[in-house]
Structure 1
Amino acid sequence: MSEPLSEIGDARVVDAGYFRSRFVPEAGRAATWRVVCRYLERFVPADARLLDLGAGYCSFVNHVRAAERHALDAYPGFVAFADAGVRTHVGSCTDLSAFAPRSLDVVFASNLLEHLGGEELEATLREVVRVLAPGGRFVLVQPNFRYCVREYFDDYTHRTVFTHVSLADLLRAHGFEIERVEPRFLPLSFKSRLPTWPWLVRLYLALPWRPKAGQMLVVGRRGTPDDPPWPRAAKDDAHVGR
């Protein structure tokens, strides 16, 4: 289980060669993401302005329900995968100048941050904070190093290590309140032997313990003027489990 489940977005690692060698299309991707999107839509208001950051094959943004859907990726070829209702932007995750301050309600990224070095990571987080409206959410699906140690560096573009603890702390350090943490969210890859039938994916997401789950879910909420001037401590997280 070594190939990322979803999308990659750093300009220096995403090119046609990467798509051929590490990010090839997988049967069942669209059907699986339809179900995953229904699960994640609890964090996406119906009237949300949403950005899929590092959209890749647009598996998330094509299936999520939102009033306004944007997709950004550094690889120009990704535009061909976007549905007609998705507004596409070719560019780096470190530069979201196409979006005005506080103009988005949800930023989603799947399998993106682990591909960024320190400066790129900081620049990306600053941009996400800038474009999110107060109360907006940063929804992250990432490999959890704690549960995929042996496979983590099978992807030659992985540069940064995260666990559910370190990723939540990183978001807190940038002013986010942690709304949800699921250390075991999804299998690391579609190359898992687990079937990807939609009904089975729904059952899998309903399990209190998810076998073979090497990916985590972390949701951060941007503060509002009414919030205290510091993020809540880890013990106050709304949900930590699985």
Structure 2
Amino acid sequence: MDDVLKEALRVLKPNGRYVAMQRNIHYEPGKYWDYYDRVLPLSHLSCKEAFEKAGFMVEELIPKFVPFSTSSRLPQWPILVRLYLAFPPIWNLLGGQFVLIARKIAND
């Protein structure tokens, strides 16, 4: 992860943004490992720390944003997705992935 963040910081223009979304081990520790690509356990807090350590300024961190997985019996109609995104209080009930928005600090 450190190499990815270092390279992103290098190629971003000053004030450029990096948006990351990731399953959050903090809220779904058992389910987190059910996916083959889970190698590094990340929570919203550990990811924030990594971005700051790399030299980014974290502008926004939403610990629970979208459901943990798109695998669901619930319909995923566009209108339902729009309604979900427009109603942040439900994110705390159904969210399992975090969103982090970080900015490359401009050098004066």
TM-score (norm 2): 0.90
Structure 1: 5+ residue runs without aligned partners? Answer: 1-120, 227-242
Looking at both structures, which has the greater relative contact order when contacts are Cα pairs under 8 Å and sequence separation is at least 6? 2
Structure 2: 5+ residue runs without aligned partners? Answer: none
- Determine the C-alpha separation between the residues in 1 that align with 2:61 and 2:73: 25
Give 2:33's match in structure 1, choosing from 153, 174, 185.
153
SS of aligned partner of 2:50 = helix
CA RMSD of aligned residues (A): 1.3
1:219 aligns with 2:101: yes
1:209 aligns with 2:102: no
Cα drift, residue 186 of structure 1? 0.8
Q: Give the ranges of 4+ consecutive aligned residues of structure 1 lying more than 3 Å apart after TM superposition.
A: none
1:58-100 superposed Cα distances (whole Å, 9 cap, x missing partner): xxxxxxxxxxxxxxxxxxxxxxxxxxxxxxxxxxxxxxxxxxx
- Determine the C-alpha separation between the residues in 1 that align with 2:30 and 2:58: 28
SS of aligned partner of 1:218 = strand
Cα drift, residue 205 of structure 1? 1.0
Cα drift, residue 213 of structure 1? 1.4
SS of aligned partner of 2:70 = coil
- Determine the C-alpha separation between the residues in 2 that align with 1:195 and 1:150: 24
SS of aligned partner of 1:219 = strand
Amino acid at match of 1:175: G
- Alignment correspondent of 1:167: 47
- Determine the C-alpha separation between the residues in 2 that align with 1:137 and 1:169: 16
Between the aligned residues of both structures, percent identity stands at 40
Give 2:3's match in structure 1, choosing from 120, 123, 127.
123
TM-score (norm 1): 0.42
- Determine the C-alpha separation between the residues in 2 that align with 1:174 and 1:122: 7
- Determine the C-alpha separation between the residues in 2 that align with 1:212 and 1:174: 30
1:31-69 superposed Cα distances (whole Å, 9 cap, x missing partner): xxxxxxxxxxxxxxxxxxxxxxxxxxxxxxxxxxxxxxx
- Alignment correspondent of 2:73: 193
Give 2:56's match in structure 1, choosing from 168, 171, 176.
176
